A and B are shown apart, each in its own frame.
Chain A
């Protein structure tokens, strides 16, 4: 078995689908989503099987033996600077690889049904495979540049897929927004990489983990990496792209913007956790930002009407929980939550996709209702996801989320503020998720007649992944051996479940009989005006700055320096031209004058005995 296989299967899928798409562009031959989708899904399943092979191999080994490294080739070699292109598999990367390939396979399968009506499914599936290829590079890369390669690659794939329906300008704009926001964060990644190389002397992750840096440098590197993560993982201040990213097809939202790509920030922080532990200040910043994001986006989610937007803000909120876990030093809990979240959030996105599919692209939850009878499987699985995100025992979310809440109080870096904010976010989460559930599936129908009649359960190819993910959401929590169990832990567990139930009950009674559109607070619905602020501040500020620069710097400095340059050339040209008179006599005269100078020099040398006769 070769580690490269995991990465290569999606790559081949990408190539095959890509060429098929190019060929169909040429010949006009239409490719069905079944053809291209089965190729892509098959590639992902093969990759998943490879990952399982390694999982079995690892489970038979001791903790310190779980490491496979494979050096493929020397990538960059510049003097002393040397980066290998090598893959490294350990427990953390294996977990992420399993999530990516496993959940990825299910979502690929689901996409076959979802993209049935699409014009260019080969393009879609090639992008999806490209994404998986890049994401696997991200988690398997052994060096920072390799991770950066994957980091940029998933950004590209995300951009391509958000703007997949590129006839719609708004969707293309959403893709661009995601891309630009990510670039802002990537700047932090790059600078962190440069600083780390300067002080550690290597970009290999093992060296970075072993390195001991001064608290100052560790803080700077940690902060910059965290800034990069806020871009990729949609945290304050760069989280506004994720709700807009819902413009893409729903399976894409499930895979990229819920299960895998947005969690790469957690992966990166966990990877460099030894560095972060050297800088406690950065940890507290991460925890604060995480919990604030969790709370703020939960508030915004309560005022949304679009089913996918609610899920998007919910994702941001859950990512905030994960960052909170990282920030209190409980990286294990964060990664655990990544896994369970991947299951139940992918499940809910796919369920939402199923609903949207059934209602012909209707996304407003106030134009749904009473779907439980029409879509029984979807409803059932969605309820499982709902229970998981609320943290009801014994669903997976219960284990991971409560672990985080416990750690936010009891960990070395935890405190009451974090705990209370986390609990409040959990309450809000319960509220808005129940609101969504009740409004979509259980309240009286507010649909138009025609839509209602056409609503039907999705085909097997779409419900199968739903069922699989529902089972995973149910049992996913038992994959982790939590040592928990102490007195205070149990009381907190009970508290958080009670809080979730309160939120759920409140929402249930409020929306049970709802039959009109809710008047939500416009300010909250539009994301607390953060987008408006960015637009006002950067959207107007940057052009203003540019205008100023173009007026002052360009007009006076650059233009004049250009003029000076041309003047210099003209002037020296005119000076030199005066020598070229075309008269033989003048040339001769110049020859005499310069010959004279040369002769004087020679004669001086001879007289001083420099040249011929040494004195």
Chain B
């Protein structure tokens, strides 16, 4: 048995089970911790695909930054009581959702089948990347040569997000009292 295949099976299983746990847990805290598992296993999958830089980023950004944010907000809001919100959806709703999911799945599967016909035309084969001195080197070349403009644009997006978040966080109880029960 191939080690990499074994690793794939392990990571894939953890990812799928972890994501199931994310949506099935009753308290947001448990969901958040399941999400950490998923993020880790995704990092492993990236590494298996040879995307080492992405794998590192996954751990840094998601597990490091976003998850901390989530947990912090959960703590801030005190959302630790159990909820049973899945159960009170109607049967019709569930049925339609299931049908939609099956439809989506079939569409995806068809796309996956189509992926077999893909012919590798790009220039960044594994050999080329090794030649360049690794994944990070290759990505930075592409990023800062061809996509530098987009990179700068994204920085504006982040700036906007910061401003928006500050604005949201700073606002005092503007609606207070109006919609209280």
Contacts and interface: CB of A to CB of B under 8 A. Distances in A.
Interface of A: 585-586, 589, 592-593, 596, 599-600, 603, 607
B93 interface: yes
A607 B115 CA distance: 12
B106 to A, nearest CB: 9
B93 A596 contact: no
B111 interface: yes
Pairs A-B, 6 closest by C-beta atoms: A592-B100, A596-B103, A593-B100, A599-B107, A596-B104, A589-B97
A585 B96 contact: no
Contacts of A603: 107, 110-111
Main SS of the interface on chain A? helix
A600 B100 contact: no
Interface of B: 89, 93, 96-97, 100, 103-104, 107, 110-111, 114
Contacts of A586: 93
B107 A593 contact: no
Given A585-B89, A585-B93, A586-B93, A592 B104 contact: yes
A520 B110 CA distance: 106
A374 B103 CA distance: 112
Nearest to B108: A599
Contact of B114 (A585, A593, A599, A607): A607
21 contacts: A585-B89, A585-B93, A586-B93, A589-B93, A589-B97, A589-B100, A592-B100, A592-B104, A593-B96, A593-B100, A596-B103, A596-B104, A596-B107, A599-B104, A599-B107, A600-B103, A600-B107, A603-B107, A603-B111, A607-B110, A607-B114
Nearest to A594: B100
Contacts of B96: 589, 593
Contacts of B111: 603
Nearest to B85: A585
A599 B89 CA distance: 26
Contacts of B114: 607
A614 to B, nearest CB: 16
Contacts of B110: 603, 607
A607 B107 CA distance: 12
B36 to A, nearest CB: 25
A589 B104 CA distance: 12
Given A592-B97, A600-B103, A603-B111, 12 more contacts: A585-B89, A585-B93, A589-B93, A589-B97, A592-B100, A592-B104, A593-B96, A599-B104, A599-B107, A600-B107, A607-B110, A607-B114
A596 B96 CA distance: 12
Nearest to B106: A600
A413 B114 CA distance: 94
Most chain A CB within a 10 A radius of its CB, from B97, B100, B104, B107: B100
B156 to A, nearest CB: 28
A592 B110 CA distance: 18
Given A603-B107, A607-B114, A596 B100 contact: yes
Nearest to B107: A599
Contacts of B93: 585-586, 589
Contacts of A599: 104, 107
A586 B104 CA distance: 17
A596 B102 CA distance: 10
B18 to A, nearest CB: 22
Nearest to B103: A596
A428 B103 CA distance: 100
